[in-house]
Structure 1
């Protein structure tokens, strides 16, 4: 079935209007990173911290007693330094960490600490942007 030039132009015009509407609907602010599930099944987010360039997530699995930390960039890009680190707060235990140049995320890192307070650190790119937080519960 042949279409007339007029019918083809009408279809192109509708496509252009739809594309323009989609472009207008895109927000100009970067989307905040969401938890990417890399800690595994059974983990739920119990805390988070906003960083320039992403979000760090602290998760917990109540059936295993494991805490997990992951730092996720807002958008994939050229590798920058990304850090996820976690430890049991009491007794000055060793840090479990993953810090390197990544395009997407650092972690997961785990520590067994049911019912204990933990310290966790996250960083994306700039050394001055490193954040430490404690979580009990």
Structure 2
């Protein structure tokens, strides 16, 4: 009898846990730049023609920083060690470009620039194709 009631209790606990909805906290999910960053821009690389990659821009209102990454999306670049690059700066060239270029498997970046209340310039590079965006995300 004791074993039967223990089994019944375990079955009841299992059923209740299956019926409860699974919850996740979006606040705890960290993106590629960090948990306080939100994506504010997505750009094709290159702007026209066959898309080789994506330039993504993120912003953190708590730090006042922007972040940029460049991902490969074409069969030539996605998941393959190819030449990828990303750079970001305060619009107008104040402070110069912050970036990285090399042979990466998945993406270049993240790179960061402090630009509270200021627009940014950014660029992404996949192989021989690039994409520049100027004077954007003025936060």
Compute the TM-score of the two structures, normalised by the length of structure 2.
0.66
What is the count of residue pairs matched by the alignment?
99
- What does residue 79 of structure 2 align with? 76
- What does residue 130 of structure 2 align with? 130
Q: How far apart are residue 91 of structure 1 and its match?
A: 4.8
Which structure 2 residues correspond to residues 101-120 of structure 1 after superposition, within 5 A? 101-120=103-122
Q: How far apart are residue 55 of structure 1 and its match?
A: 0.7
Q: How far apart are residue 37 of structure 1 and its match?
A: 2.5
- What does residue 47 of structure 1 align with? 41
Q: How far apart are residue 115 of structure 1 and its match?
A: 1.0
Would you say the 8 A contact 2:84–2:103 is kept in 1?
yes
Compute the TM-score of the two structures, normalised by the length of structure 1.
0.67
Gaps spanning 5+ residues in structure 2: where? Answer: 1-29, 46-50
Where in structure 1 do 4 or more consecutive aligned residues deviate above 4 Å?
none
Q: How far apart are residue 65 of structure 1 and its match?
A: 0.3
Q: How far apart are residue 80 of structure 1 and its match?
A: 1.1
Question: Tell me, what secondary structure is at the counterpart of 2:112?
Answer: strand
Which structure 2 residues correspond to residues 21-32 of structure 1 after superposition, within 5 A? none
Summarize deviations over 1:57-114 as a string: whole Å, max 9, x none: 000000000100000112212x111111000113542100011111100000000001
